[in-house]
Structure 1
């Protein structure tokens, strides 16, 4: 998943022009919110049903795999575990055609619905001493 500064500014409209210096701080704040929300969605009890949220914790590796990197005007949010995509998109266990399909739990898509643009903008302004 990527956040592009130009796309975020376009989505924010006039509010983005008030914080041109804070672009990266804003993107970083959005990435942090996304990682935190995805971490909540992937940190459930081991008794959670397949396909339900939060995703059960077995070892904690999926939950610890969330991270982000700033690359120029872009922030990339990712999970570096080998099975993150299978949990996100769903899978058929062990490639067995008779096994029940485990439905995907799109934790990054769902994390994006929890973003608070105003909170990210306020945090960026505060970090730059504007508030």
Structure 2
């Protein structure tokens, strides 16, 4: 008696369950991360939130805050021009990081490391829904 067993690769299996790039579950995760990060991310003009929506391909598994100052705001430290010591830098000049924390305005949750802080508050709920969707 001969038997033949065809097994799916991990990639094929994850795609069928909606876990891969462009899958239903990955789209859900990306959308929920953007939604839940909104109250934690800096909001002065709304540009940061818009940049996440515009800079992210939902389902890619990567959230992109497509803004020239997003990294600066995420890490929460003042950066200055090496030549002037001012937060304003000459065109093409790389800023130096200081140890001085940025001051954030708005809702009490807004500030540095917004993704990490959002995960603490909402990560379990997102994962619970992912588990439900994957069944």
Q: Select which of 13, 17, 23 maps to 1:21.
A: 17
Normalized per residue, the structure richer in helix is 1
Deviation at 1:109, TM superposition (A): 2.0
Normalized per residue, the structure richer in strand is 1
The normalised TM-score by structure 1 is 0.55
Deviation at 1:93, TM superposition (A): 4.7
How do residues 18-57 of structure 1 correspond to structure 2 at under 5 angstroms? 20-23=16-19, 24-42=23-41, 55=42, 57=43
Greater Rg over alpha carbons, structure: 2
Q: Could you tell me how far apart the structure 1 residues matched to 2:27 and 2:101 are? A: 33
How do residues 109-124 of structure 1 correspond to structure 2 at under 5 angstroms? 109-113=116-120, 114-115=122-123, 116-122=126-132, 124=133
Deviation at 1:119, TM superposition (A): 1.4
5+ residue gaps, structure 2: 1-9, 87-97, 103-110
SS at match of 1:26: helix
The normalised TM-score by structure 2 is 0.54
**2:115 — aligned with what?**
108
Deviation at 1:75, TM superposition (A): 1.7
Tell whether the 8 Å contact from 1:66 to 1:78 is kept in structure 2 after alignment: yes
Q: CA RMSD in A?
A: 3.2
Tell whether the 8 Å contact from 2:30 to 2:58 is kept in structure 1 after alignment: no
Count the aligned residue pairs: 94
5+ residue gaps, structure 1: 1-5, 7-15, 43-54
